[in-house]
Structure 1
């Protein structure tokens, strides 16, 4: 009775236990029978390979377009004829985006073409006329040239006549002081031609010296000089063209004189009179020629004024000017036609267009509802900020690796620092903005970049393009010693699965592995350089999981970079949240 009473008191508990047991049985027999693969072990495996490993300063930044053009500034207050783009359209440099009405510009251009053709024909006519010179004009021009030549030649003849007068009958005569002593002596002879216009006399005095001849001579008067006597050889008498030859009987204290012109000769008066007559004739010829020249020049002016072709050259110049003006107007009209087309100066994407349709006419002002949009270039920059300590470590031209935050699985973009700000962005903790240009080709990129995307930045400080590397998640630390789990052996089926998916699954068992200590080189965010302990081609475990769950294997296994265990204490973050990376 007591048993039945107790059974009655606990019947609801028993019923609950029976229901739970039935549920467990049904779950294990039915659901697990249909989904036995959930109770498995999963291993993410990788092959030790060669590739790039980088490490540097980590931070975050933004993706911005390298160039942005406000197309709206080229808006014209005329009808829109053609719209070749829409929001989101990609265009190439040189593409016509929008065209405005050109009808009036076309009319002006055609009119300018006609004007150019007429001006060119008029110029050809004037050029043909200029090749038909007037005979009287040509004769008069020749006379003028003849008169000019007569004047020039006569002036030169006057100079030559004076020189001839100075050189007429030049000779060496005894000085008045020694006239009796040198009366019967042989006088030195003169040669050469006196080329100066200065009148005067040369006084030559001979004295004993250490020269080879035993004598030297001193010149005074028109010029001053002292030279050795050389018997029988012409030597310079000053610097004005005359030379003197001393005879062998030259003696000490000989004193000679040369008069320029020779006023001592008996025929001097006749010579002077002939010179003056010659000069008078030449001066008269110059005066006559100057009068004739003036008359001829006036006659030429009169001929050109009365000649029917007097304005040939002027007409040609006028025709050339008219043609140049017509060509200038045509060029301006061509510019107006071209300005009616808005042409993309660089490749990019158009955004922000509003109410841009063919047939609409912008009105200008604040009430204008038409917005031509903005052209965003295909070239992109990343901008980020670094603190004072980190900014001192970077320089223009330094490599940067960029990962778009929302698309971490996409390939990493490389960039190059192009600008480092010298001024901090704020008055608080100093942060300096840096710009880097991305190596990005829109036509081949897996990810289309857009303005405003967030990016994970790594300013590369260390890199090895051909390092033996493993994923950072494969590294574990035991008392600060880095280790890697190496796969000892895989079945053929497991090997195929690893090659295909990078994952090895086992049911109720584990794969054979062993740990090895490794020596690390560059430690990056995603990859770590292995300096020793592993060989290329070794298969390692990056991460593993043993679960009985229906959750996503990818979610549980945490595919992709992991924390790789506890890092040694010396791996500290740097200023401003920037830390060493891959």
Structure 2
């Protein structure tokens, strides 16, 4: 009797509970999501770097002598050829120095002639004294004195010749300084800037001092990208590797580039800098119609290996770091390490959270090493829904029209967020 009574109570409770459960479960709307499948696609390992556009060949001219500028023969934008005179310094002081050194050289030449005559005379005396001494007409000591005077004369001649060499060298230096009062173009190109004016004093190659920089010349027809690559990545970079160069002014119009040079020494760090070392990498650019100018910033994606077919997912489908939104009680989430992420798969209309191990990535896709199988359906958006999605949430796939609306909404949301302070 008691057993049959208990069964009756359980049956009544079940009859009441089922409608209630259905009511509550059906009351929560299903979240509309976009789905994608794990699929094999070609993905290339690459590294990212940033830097600037620079002229392939650029020369900063400075004076090799100190002098007041008397003539500036070019202006910014002028095309020039190698060897062309660009400006002149006042040569008055250096010309006076040349005149003085020429006089010193002439005086040295006279001294050599005088010393040579003395040598000739002392040699004759020495030879005569030797013959007389051998014939016993004079003492040997007188011959020794004559020989000594001859040797002294030869030393004086050698000293005169040394003085002549010094005077000639000083004259050559003065003539070179005089020639340097005319500043000539070392390369053909275009004058990109002129930093000095007539009447100002040019200072000889003193960095940072007023007058040390005269003008800049560059080959404006050839621009290349110069980027800084982190020391952890530079070993992967080699001459000849292809790259995509994204100018900041034309972010959606990448230019194809090729690694041309990888520096052997790290870039000099600023005083007090604590960041890691970086190496300068230069890339040549293929012809483009974009109005790229030197000094513009750019980012570069350098392909460091050949592409191959790998299981991948769109980057936005993988939650990492703070975006994982995992339950703090989830042991798996506590053990999440670098190189892992979280995705939401679909099972019987319900979102199921899975941790995945990720590999290399490009701009759009991330390699999946483990955690989900090829062909498995994964939630990829909308981003707002994906960020708040929880394990066990009921979901349904967006239809095509709904997807378009979601994309439009996402665009609007992005623009609105961009206006926020």
- Choose 1 or 2 for highest CA Rg: 1
TM-score normalised by length of structure 2: 0.45
TM-score normalised by length of structure 1: 0.34
